[in-house]
Structure 1
């Protein structure tokens, strides 16, 4: 998908916003006993901190690990290219979910001496949602929007052989 560093920054930013906002909404809903309209606004308070953290983790660490791990599982020359996308997505969730759950535990749940127990509980609650959301909603949506954005950007660039 992204072919340049700028494209990678844009794609990562888009994915982080969609994933992090949804996961914050999920956790707020869990904490207040179910989904309600206020959840969408309440989640916005945590979004700046969690989005920046997720972006830094994904762009500088997890993204690279996920690509390397997926390339050990999938051969892009022989296998369907979509398997590589699925592999990267799955490994990203496997790495990001515990890291982001730890951050949420420490920053927002005030676990006291129970930090390890609360972190594990938060990770276990978040993992199924994060994996399903990534594979079935956020991933397809962000890839579609990214492709459309890149097509539009390409259409606005003057052709290299055009004389002015």
Structure 2
């Protein structure tokens, strides 16, 4: 096994561990900071940021892990959570090729688009969760989007500090 493969495995393990910790935080903190029913989705934020930094296949793997944990905690619509989080991880992981990851605008945009993808897939697969009270669902989802975008900065930069993703690019070779 090469050094690069060990590093990739370590990074994937750290993101998976962060997703597990985000689920614990979701159960403990999320409802306490809710505003009018809207609350952040910590596991989805960590998934979006981590999958973007890891890349396609590993992003899909951590998406599957997040879907398993989210479905296990929710205990309803298990398959919908599993599919939506797996596909959201694949989506965020494949964004890696088309953006500058260390830009200040990347974390909220990645989390915004990944949250929209995950919520859309979940809504399509489990319409009974929102169909009869769609205004409330839209309000709560909009609040979740705002919360997730605001919290994307600390989570994204924390993952970068833990050296998740490729090393910071130095286009002008200022560092030796």
TM-score (norm 2): 0.45
Which is greater in Rg?
A: 1
TM-score (norm 1): 0.47
Flag the structure with higher helix content: 1
